[in-house]
Structure 1
Amino acid sequence: MTDQERWNEIAETEVCKTWWFYMKDIMRTNEDNSPISKELKDVFFMQ
């Protein structure tokens, strides 16, 4: 399972959706209350 698949699975849980609803007043959100996100630039690399 990839990281993205795991995040998608977590996003479907009731506890996650409840958290999004609870936090929507202090975060920018999509219509379904999920947080708006964007890709971050890699700054550090560990070997």
Structure 2
Amino acid sequence: MTVRKTAEGRTIQGFKMKLYPGFAAEYEKRHNELWPEMQDMIHEYGGHNYSIFIDEETNTLFGYIEVDDPDTYAKSADTPINRKWWDFMASVMETNADNSPVSVDLPCAFHLD
């Protein structure tokens, strides 16, 4: 699939993750209380317009983020604050051995600014 970009030249990234059953409200609560240092890190690494949607019937999360540079944004995974966030969220969602979310990239088939 073609890499899609916004009018500002940002790369659009989409992905899906999975919640454990019964944790949709807790997931939303934790994100509504997103730590300021986590928000700062996302912006520092070029993340913008970040949204996550919950399909409560399947416990599937659908994420959307615009990034200035995918390679730079990928480096945010190794920051201490991101690792701390993964540890904090591991009790409500499917994770890998390092507590990173099990995540599947979704190709963008269409975008309209």
Task: Please tell me the TM-score bracket, short chain as reference.
Answer: 0.7 to 0.9
Give the match for residue 7 of structure 1. 73
Within 5 Å, which residues of 2 pair with 1:1-47? Answer: 2-3=69-70, 5-42=71-108, 44-46=110-112
- Paired residues in the alignment total 46
| SS of residue in 2 equivalent to 1:26 | coil
State percent identity of aligned pairs: 33
Question: TM-score scaled by structure 1?
Answer: 0.75
* Larger helix proportion of the pair: 1
Larger Rg: 2
AA matched with 1:21: D
Gaps of 5+ in 1: none
* Larger strand proportion of the pair: 2
2 CA distance for matches of 1:46 and 1:13?
32
